[in-house]
């Protein structure tokens, strides 16, 4: 999830663990704990693109890291906050839950997380977009209400608890909405007589009303959208796989790493004699525009006997138009379309 959401979650967890003893300091250190796992993005600045992708949401987002790092951070905080009278065990417990709930929340996103690192298992429930105002904003409001109360005030704990309950309930609701959307896609594919090998569904940006699906056919990937306000069945756009464009490059170790990262959801495109690897798991920059580029695309550059990947800079174009198009599609299609 985005940084603000993780800060809010970490602060609320910190308050739940130590708020009665140290007040807003519990929120402060909880927020810090909720931020620490995403520092792995900075490591990516010192390595190649593919390695950076592999590192993100790996070790720092695991149970192992939370268990090992929490006592270290807890001890440091206990030295800084001697006047609070709170020992390192309590601070360690706060840090553990702040570090642990971060990857738990990330597991609900499309990217997922390696919660059980070093095992090569990436949990990705794909039920919530990385930025979802309906999750974050109510949570933030309750956190602010709690923050404004003294630590002895019972309403402080009540507001914080309500924030955790509301946000968690919404998170569980996203799983239900995903199940319904997934079932609808299956029905629409069947009604249209479309044969497919596998189906993957995810929410579109900023909401859980409009859902996207990738279906794998023999030579194409089919991309479709379904809104809970739709009157007609979902229609699917065929995107050629073009895997044959790779030729012998498909056996390159770095290309294989990209294929593994994408779980096989990828297409190859060619522009001006250069090849591009498109990761379909995150869809297009503008779900309503068939000509829109993909959210994650990598230029394949042969170099020194291997292939180097370079992420294509995102060019969302007119952000206002993208949001307008998205809003129009959320409102549903009509049976006449």
- Decide: 277 and 258 in contact? Cβ < 8 Å: yes
pLDDT of residue 170: 98
Which of 174, 201, 232 is a domain's end point? 174
Quick one: 242 and 324 in the same domain?
yes
pLDDT of residue 65: 98
What domain count does the chain have?
Answer: 2
pLDDT of residue 318: 66
Which of 174, 208, 243 is a domain's end point? 174
Quick one: 75 and 220 in the same domain?
no
Quick one: 223 and 279 in the same domain?
yes
User: Which residues in the chain land under pLDDT 50?
Assistant: 336-337
Flag whether 186 is in a domain: no
Flag whether 330 is in a domain: yes
Quick one: 59 and 205 in the same domain?
no
Quick one: 312 and 247 in the same domain?
yes
Flag whether 179 is in a domain: no
Flag whether 119 is in a domain: yes
Flag whether 98 is in a domain: yes
Quick one: 218 and 115 in the same domain?
no
Flag whether 187 is in a domain: no
**Structural domain that includes position 96:** 3-174
Quick one: 205 and 330 in the same domain?
yes
The crossing angle, in degrees rounded to 10, of helices 154-191 and 133-147 is 180
Which of 109, 141, 174 is a domain's end point? 174
**What's the CA gap between 278 and 214, in Å, rounded?**
13
Quick one: 197 and 81 in the same domain?
no
Quick one: 145 and 283 in the same domain?
no
pLDDT of residue 316: 61
Going from the C-alpha of 98 to that of each of 107, 136, 170, 276, 323, the distances in angstroms are: 15, 16, 20, 38, 33
Flag whether 159 is in a domain: yes
Quick one: 305 and 166 in the same domain?
no
Flag whether 289 is in a domain: yes
pLDDT of residue 68: 98
pLDDT of residue 289: 74
């Amino acid at each position: 999830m985005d940084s603000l959401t993780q800060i809010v979650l970490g602060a609320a967890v910190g308050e739940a663990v130590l708020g009665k003893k140290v007040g807003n300091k519990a929120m402060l250190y909880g927020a810090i704990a909720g931020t620490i796992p995403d520092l792995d993005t900075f490591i990516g600045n010192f390595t190649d693109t593919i390695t950076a992708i592999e590192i993100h949401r790996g070790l720092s987002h695991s149970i192992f890291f939370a268990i090992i790092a929490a006592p270290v951070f807890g001890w440091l905080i206990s030295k800084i906050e001697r006047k609070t009278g709170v020992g390192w065990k309590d601070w360690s417990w706060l840090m553990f839950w702040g570090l642990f709930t971060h990857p738990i929340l990330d597991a609900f996103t499309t990217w997922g997380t390696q919660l059980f690192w070093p095992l090569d298992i990436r949990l990705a429930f794909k039920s919530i977009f990385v930025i979802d105002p309906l999750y974050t904003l109510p949570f933030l409001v309750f956190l602010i209400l709690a923050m404004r109360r003294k630590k002895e005030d019972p309403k402080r704990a009540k507001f914080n608890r309500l924030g955790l309950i509301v946000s968690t309930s919404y998170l569980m609701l996203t799983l239900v909405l995903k199940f319904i959307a997934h079932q609808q896609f299956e029905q629409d594919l069947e009604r249209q007589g479309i044969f497919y090998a596998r189906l993957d569904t995810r929410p579109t940006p900023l909401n859980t009303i409009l859902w996207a699906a990738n279906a794998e056919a023999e030579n194409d990937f089919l991309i479709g959208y379904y809104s809970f306000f739709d009157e007609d069945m979902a229609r699917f756009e065929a995107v050629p796989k073009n895997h044959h464009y790779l030729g012998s490059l498909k056996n390159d170790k770095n290309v294989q790493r990209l294929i593994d990262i994408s779980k096989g959801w990828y297409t190859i495109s060619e522009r001006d004699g250069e090849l591009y690897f498109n990761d379909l798991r995150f869809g297009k920059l503008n779900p309503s525009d068939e000509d829109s580029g993909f959210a994650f695309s990598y230029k394949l550059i042969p170099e020194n006997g291997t292939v180097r990947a370079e992420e294509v800079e995102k060019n969302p174009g007119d952000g206002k138009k993208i949001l307008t198009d998205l809003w129009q599609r959320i409102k549903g299609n009509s049976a006449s379309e």
